[in-house]
Structure 1
Amino acid sequence: MGMLGVPICVQCGNTDNPCRCKVVGPTLGFLAFAAAAVVEWPVGALVYCFKHMKGRRIMAHPATVIYPSVTNAIPI
């Protein structure tokens, strides 16, 4: 039986909290990024066939909007 691990992301060197490391925010941000990417990347690829810039914006949305929003919303 294989093990399925949860990805843990650590961001050190920030000034959001006294310990200067974030674990919860980046980890939840990555999980939100992955969930959004599963939906938006195929849609973006289909749109890219007809409208190149619109397709690129759709495919970039998880990395440029979702991940930073979730990561910055949680200070720990």
Structure 2
Amino acid sequence: MAVGAPIPICVQCGTAGNPCRCKVVGPTLGFLAFAAAALVEWPVGALVYCFRHMKGRRIMAHPATVVFPSVSNSIPI
């Protein structure tokens, strides 16, 4: 019987976005979106990097600079 990997739970405390001052759902979904985007964009970015260095770096940085913050900040809890 195979057991799958556990889903990571990310907690961000000290935010002013909700009365509890902690976020769980937003950062966790942000991490899952980051992982899905990175799975696609990092190999593509590595291939592009061979020919156009700055463009390849921007593609590989996209999950961390755009995907994770936008998903994490869009969900206040």
In the superposition, the TM-score normalised over structure 2's length comes to: 0.95
Q: How many residue pairs are counted as aligned between the two chains? A: 76
Q: How does 1:43-58 map to 2 (within 5 A)?
A: 43-58=44-59
Match of 2:26 in 1: 25
User: Which blocks of at least 5 consecutive residues in structure 2 are unaligned?
Assistant: none
Shift of 1:4: 2.0
Structure 2 partner of 1:15: 16
Tell me the distance in 2 between the aligned counterparts of 1:50 and 1:2: 41
SS of 1:56's equivalent?
helix
Letter paired with 2:59: I
> Does residue 67 of the first structure (1) align with residue 68 of the second (2)?
yes
CA distance in structure 2 between the aligned counterparts of 1:72 and 1:9, rounded to whole angstroms? 13
Separation (CA, whole Å) in 2 of partners of 1:39 and 1:33: 10
- Looking at structure 1, the residues matched to 75 and 4 of structure 2 have their Cα atoms a distance apart, in angstroms, of 28
Amino acid at match of 2:11: V
Cα offset for 1:3?
5.0
| TM-score (structure 1 length as normaliser) | 0.97
Gap regions ≥5 residues in structure 1: none
Distance between the aligned counterparts of 1:6 and 1:20, measured in 2?
Answer: 23
Question: How many Å separate the matches in 1 of 2:20 and 2:4?
Answer: 31
Identical counterparts, % of pairs = 80
